[in-house]
Amino acid sequence: MWLIYKEIIKTTKVKVPIFLLLTSPLSAWAADINIVTETWPPNVYVNEAGVISGPLTEKVLKVMARAKLSYSLNMYPWPRAYNYALSDENVLIYPIFKTRARERLFHFICPLSKKVDLFFVKLAARKDIKVSNLSDAKKYRIGLIREDYDHSLLLQHGFEDGKQLDANTDDISTLRKLIKGRIDLMMQSRSSIYENLAAEGLDKSMVELVYKFEDQHLAENCIALSKNTPDGLVGKIRQAMDEFNRTTPLIDINE
């Protein structure tokens, strides 16, 4: 089942969203913008009421309200969300890191948050694993999400699929492989790895953050619109985001 939100804004006031559960694709109804995302707790997640939530979601929806645009909101595994944004028109994807390779593929609107600290994570019990730099990490098997920013970042630094890299559809699958010893490391932010451990009923003491990526290697965390989205819609959302960022402190998801 896809979780889909619909909000029609008729005045300058923000209306209460109408929540719908549908089993149809993005084109189920004529929204101005189809928003797609992935689960990335605690920043993007489905709450107890079955609603896509989290600080990044809240910001995106406030930006859409400011832009006075209707929207649908769908959560998918990252590869599917990314492919929708690549191939369909009027699609907004978040969060997405702005890399050189992606700049020609999307209309980026930045920043969505402060830069995200990324780490190599290992099991605390694995005393044999030592990582002081990226070259050290090439000795190990590393789990990450297929086609995600982490994936492209390591490919750029000479890591190879099927050799060092083990690509999965989501973070929980990767974490379970780490716990079972099927991989040696995974890439993750501090808040997300601790949230995922809690979701599995595990204590954060099980893992150790062994290497923090240097800031110059990290891209901005943004929203992006599919390339064939009309300039008028892109402009409305860009203006709304710029206005929001001028009046509201950037979200720090590293805290």
Mean pLDDT of the chain: 87
Instruction: Using alpha carbons only, give the angle 224, 64, 153 rounded to the nearest 5 degrees.
Output: 20
Distance between CA atoms of residues 193 and 186, nearest Å: 9
For residue 152, what pLDDT band results from cuts at 50, 70 and 90? confident
Asked if 46 contacts 5 with a C-beta cutoff of 8 angstroms, the reply is no
pLDDT in tens, 193-204: 999 999 999 999
User: Which homologous superfamily does the CATH classification assign to the domain defined by 119-217?
Assistant: Periplasmic binding protein-like II (3.40.190.10)
Confidence (pLDDT) at 20: 32
φ/ψ of residue 140, rounded to 5: -120, 165
What integer pLDDT is reported at residue 17 of this predicted model? Answer: 38
Distance in angstroms (rounded) separating the CA atoms of residues 11 and 248:
22
Query: For residue range 84-124, what is the model confidence (pLDDT) as tens digits?
Result: 999 999 999 999 999 888 999 999 999 999 998 999 999 99
Q: Is residue 224 a contact partner of residue 85, using CB atoms and an 8 Å limit?
A: yes
Cβ–Cβ < 8 Å for 253, 191: yes
| The CATH fold of domain 2-112+221-247 | D-Maltodextrin-Binding Protein; domain 2 (3.40.190)
Asked whether residue 215 carries a pLDDT value surpassing 70, the answer given is no
Distance CA 192, CA 171 (A): 9
pLDDT band at 30 (very low <50, low <70, confident <90, very high): confident
pLDDT band at 23; cut points 50, 70, 90: very low
Check pLDDT > 50 for residue 16.
no
CA distances from 148 to 80, 94, 170, 179 (A): 11, 12, 10, 21
* 24 backbone φψ class: left, alpha, beta (φ>0; ψ -120 to 50): beta
Residue 141 has pLDDT above 60, yes or no: yes
Cis peptide before 42 (omega within 30 of 0): yes
Same fold, 2-112+221-247 and 119-217: yes
CA distance 23 to 228: 25
Separation between Cα atoms, residue 35 and residue 26, nearest integer Å = 9
pTM of the model: 0.78
What local confidence, expressed as pLDDT, does residue 223 receive?
98
- Residue 29, pLDDT score: 55
- pLDDT of 132 higher than 70: yes
* Higher-pLDDT residue of 148, 122: 122
Every domain of the chain and the residues it spans? 2-112+221-247, 119-217
Q: 16 CB contacts (<8 Å, ≥6 apart)? A: none
How many degrees, rounded to 5, is the angle at CA 203 between CA 197 and CA 207? 75
